[in-house]
Chain A
Amino acid sequence: MRFLTRRFLFYLVAAFVAITLNFFIPRLMAGDPVQVMFAQFQGRLDSRAMESLKETFGFVQGPILEQYATYLGNLARGNLGLSISNYPTPVADLIFPSLLWTLRLIGVATITAFLIGIILGIYAAWRRGGGIDSFLLPITSIVGAFPFFWTAMFIVFIFGLQLKWFPTSHAWDIKLTPNPDWSNPEFVNSVLRHGLLPMLTIVFTSLGGWLLGMRNNMIGVLSQDYVTMAQAKGLSDRRVMFTYAARNAILPSLTAFSMSLGFVVGGALVVELVFAYPGMGYLLLKAVGGRDYPLMQAVFLLITIAVLIANFMADVLYVVLDPRAR
Chain B
Amino acid sequence: MAQNKPTTLVPAVGRAVPLRPAVRIPLPGWLRTILSNRKAAVGMAILTFFVLVAVFAPVIAPGQPNKMVGRPHEAPSAAHPFGTSRQGQDIFTQVVHGSRSSLVVGFGTGTFIIMLCILIGVTAGYVGGLVDEILSLFMNVFLILPGLPLIIVVAGWVQQPGPLTVMLVLGFTSWAYGARVLRSQTLILRNSDFVAAARISGEPWWRIILFEILPNMTSLVASSWIGAVIFVILTEATLSFVGLGNPNAVSWGVTLFWAQNNQALLTGAWWTFVPPGLCIALVGFSLTLINYGIDEITNPRLQGDK
> What residues of chain A have their CB less than 8 Å away from a CB belonging to chain B?
10-11, 13-14, 17-18, 21-22, 25-26, 29, 33, 129, 141-142, 144-150, 153-154, 156-157, 161-162, 168, 258-259, 261-263, 265-267, 269-270, 273-274, 284-285, 287-289, 291, 293, 296-297, 299-300, 303-304, 307-308, 311
- Closest A residue, CB atoms, query B253: A147
Cα distance, A269 to B150, chains bound together (Å): 12
Give the Cβ gap from A83 to chain B, nearest Cβ, in Å: 15
| A–B pairs, 23, beta carbons within 8 Å | A10-B141, A11-B144, A17-B138, A18-B145, A21-B145, A25-B154, A141-B285, A144-B288, A147-B241, A149-B241, A150-B281, A259-B144, A262-B143, A266-B146, A266-B148, A266-B149, A269-B148, A284-B149, A285-B242, A288-B152, A291-B159, A293-B156, A293-B157
Whether A14 and B277, one on each chain, are in contact in the complex, defined by CB atoms closer than 8 angstroms, is no
Whether A33 and B158, one on each chain, are in contact in the complex, defined by CB atoms closer than 8 angstroms, is yes
The winner among A22, A145, A304 for most chain B CB atoms within 10 A is A145
The winner among A13, A29, A33, A262 for most chain B CB atoms within 10 A is A262
Whether B147 and A263, one on each chain, are in contact in the complex, defined by CB atoms closer than 8 angstroms, is yes
Q: Which residues of A contact B40 (CB under 8 A)?
A: none
Given that A29-B157, A161-B268, A291-B159 are known contacts, is A150 also in contact with B256, CB under 8 Å in the complex? yes
Q: What 0/1 pattern do residues 161 to 175 of B give for CB contact below 8 A with A?
A: 000000000000000
B64 contacts A by Cβ under 8 Å: no
Q: In the complex, given contacts A270-B242, A300-B153, what are 19 additional A-B residue pairs having Cβ atoms less than 8 angstroms apart?
A: A13-B141, A14-B145, A25-B157, A29-B157, A141-B285, A145-B288, A146-B281, A147-B238, A150-B256, A150-B273, A150-B280, A157-B273, A162-B268, A259-B144, A261-B146, A266-B146, A266-B147, A270-B241, A285-B152
- Closest A residue, CB atoms, query B268: A161
> What residues of chain B have their CB less than 8 Å away from a CB belonging to chain A?
137-138, 140-141, 143-150, 152-159, 177, 230, 234, 237-238, 241-244, 256, 259-260, 265-266, 268, 270, 273-274, 277, 280-282, 284-285, 288, 306
Cα distance, A299 to B144, chains bound together (Å): 17
Given that A147-B241, A273-B242 are known contacts, is A297 also in contact with B144, CB under 8 Å in the complex? no
Give the Cβ gap from B63 to chain A, nearest Cβ, in Å: 26
Cα distance, A26 to B147, chains bound together (Å): 17
Whether B156 and A296, one on each chain, are in contact in the complex, defined by CB atoms closer than 8 angstroms, is yes
Interface of A is mostly: helix
Whether B141 and A142, one on each chain, are in contact in the complex, defined by CB atoms closer than 8 angstroms, is no
Whether A307 and B146, one on each chain, are in contact in the complex, defined by CB atoms closer than 8 angstroms, is yes
Give the Cβ gap from B175 to chain A, nearest Cβ, in Å: 14
Cα distance, A168 to B141, chains bound together (Å): 36
Q: Which residues of B contact A267 (CB under 8 A)?
A: 148
Whether B288 and A141, one on each chain, are in contact in the complex, defined by CB atoms closer than 8 angstroms, is yes
- Closest A residue, CB atoms, query B138: A17
Q: Which residues of B contact A287 (CB under 8 A)?
A: 156
Whether A150 and B277, one on each chain, are in contact in the complex, defined by CB atoms closer than 8 angstroms, is yes
Whether A270 and B159, one on each chain, are in contact in the complex, defined by CB atoms closer than 8 angstroms, is no
Cα distance, A10 to B260, chains bound together (Å): 40
Give the Cβ gap from B166 to chain A, nearest Cβ, in Å: 14
Q: Which residues of A contact B148 (CB under 8 A)?
A: 262-263, 265-267, 269-270
Cα distance, A297 to B156, chains bound together (Å): 10
Q: Which residues of A contact B154 (CB under 8 A)?
A: 25
